[in-house]
Amino acid sequence: MSQTWNQHVVKKENKALVLNTIKANAPVSRASIAQTTGLNKGTVSSLVSELLNEKLINESGTGESSGGRRPVMLLLNETAGFTISIDLGVNHILGVVTDLRGNIVNERTITFSNEDLEEVLKHLHQLIDELRNEVPESEYGIVGIGVGVPGVVTSDGEILLAPNLGWKKVPLKDILFERYRVPIIVENEANGGAYGEKVYGVGQMADELIYTSISIGIGVGLILDGKLYKGLRGFSGELGHMTIEKDGPDCRCGNKGCWELYASEKTLLEKARENGYKDTNIHELVTAAENGESKAIHLLEELGDYLGIGITNIIHIFNPEQVVVGNTVQIAEKFIMPAIEKRIEKNAIGFNKNDVQLNVAKLQKYSTVMGMAAFNIEHFFEAPDKAVISN
């Protein structure tokens, strides 16, 4: 058996097409769906009635007449199920409950200092338990739990390495499934952020989008051809460890002159220390810069310049439509973005530079959780009938 066969496929595809049309254009009538999709009116009618039976969509009264019978408008039944979506950071966990449209209906944060696996898992379980108790009653219940983690994740949802947490070989997907018995998605934090910005953020119009997660280190999520690109084993996007200075200092990864040795929050704070800012953080530096302290301004602009060098490489490598700067450094937007732009303007090849947009993440601290929500929702809609009822 290779892959493609028969004609359930056609029905399944068309049903998905109808549902996506409703998602994208709601509220929308059957007639209008038929027109935009090119499907026959009868076909649309029958698929819509199935979707209504499955409680995935709702009728919502009649719309305005355009010179004839008034249309019955259709809406996504966004509260037919909910996701629990989590950004597991190095000193905090952000968890949200979203509906099937990606609206956040609940939110909780836990901060911690002990990064020990056992401890953090306890926090994670507690957070999920709390969120779960607050999820509204619904047809499909919790359709999935997604966790974005700052580390290397296999396609089986095992965290191979999370350097800033000091974790190795944690089968997080299995651990969570064992406990919650709903579909679990574990993904790298930058991949989640990339998808979040693509689906709900600044990249909704872009199919070729590179999301750079700039925080303690650098992670990069690649949206290529509209889909998350993960490489052979899921380890793509290690652009933080792209050499930008061939004889540069050793990185703990084994390579030399890695990008994140020049353009990360960690390096920023080290340099700040050398410049007399003792025991500071990026918030304080931004405040200082906003108050006109030239040292702070210079430090932030230097960070932006180094970011620009790596982003220029990204532009040359991928010819993307959009490059998004996300994660913690975006609070320094005012100082780093012009520096990045200046570097790109100066160094990048015209053909590649002309069409690219450079943006700050729109979802801010929610990029990753929203990406995880999007993964959960997408997974659910691929096979709603198989969803585990667990409410």
Mark the segment that binds DNA (CB under 7 A) among 27-35, 99-107, 199-207, 312-320.
27-35
By the 8 A CB rule, do 191 and 230 touch?
yes
Q: Taking the complex as a whole, how short is the minimal distance between the CB of residue 127 and a copy of itself, in angstroms? A: 28
Within 64-83, which residues bind DNA (CB under 7 A)?
65-72
**Residue from 45, 46, 91, 255 that binds a copy of itself (CB under 8 A)?**
255
- Which stretch of DSSP H or E encloses residue 181? none
**Residue from 152, 269, 325, 372 that binds a copy of itself (CB under 8 A)?**
152
Contact of residue 113 among a copy of itself, DNA, none (CB under 5-8 Å per partner type) = none
Tokens representing residue 251 in the block: 């990185």
What whole-number distance in Å separates Cα of residue 192 and Cα of residue 244? 25
Site string for a copy of itself, 27-46 (x = CB under 8 A): ---------xxxx-------
Phi, psi of 45 (to 5 degrees): -55, -45
- Say whether residue 7 binds a copy of itself (CB under 8 A): yes
Interface with a copy of itself: number of residues (CB under 8 A): 66
Within 95-114, which residues bind DNA (CB under 7 A)?
none
Q: Taking the complex as a whole, how short is the minimal distance between the CB of residue 75 and DNA, in angstroms? A: 12
Tokens representing residue 62 in the block: 């009649």
- Say whether residue 61 binds DNA (CB under 7 A): no
Q: Taking the complex as a whole, how short is the minimal distance between the CB of residue 49 and DNA, in angstroms? A: 6
What whole-number distance in Å separates Cα of residue 282 and Cα of residue 199? 28
Is the backbone of residue 257 left (phi > 0), alpha (psi -120 to 50) or beta?
left
Mark the segment that binds DNA (CB under 7 A) among 19-27, 61-69, 169-177, 275-283.
61-69
What whole-number distance in Å separates Cα of residue 142 and Cα of residue 300? 42
What whole-number distance in Å separates Cα of residue 220 and Cα of residue 195? 11
Edge-to-edge strands, sheet with 227-228 = 227-228, 218-224, 209-214, 322-326, 357-360
Mark the segment that binds DNA (CB under 7 A) among 59-67, 126-134, 259-267, 367-375.
59-67
Instruction: Return the number of the residue (15 or 23) whose C-beta is nearest DNA.
Output: 15
What whole-number distance in Å separates Cα of residue 329 and Cα of residue 343? 17
Q: Facing residues of 330 across strands? A: none
Contacts of 363 (CB under 8 A, 6+ apart): 196, 197, 200, 201, 202, 370
- Say whether residue 309 binds a copy of itself (CB under 8 A): yes
By the 8 A CB rule, do 353 and 359 touch?
no
Write out the residues near DNA by the rule CB under 7 A. 5-8, 10-11, 14-15, 29-32, 38-43, 45-49, 62, 65-72
Write out the residues near a copy of itself by the rule CB under 8 A. 1-7, 9-10, 13-14, 17, 21, 36-39, 152, 160-161, 208, 224-225, 229-239, 241-247, 253-257, 262, 306, 309, 312-313, 316-321, 346-352, 355-356
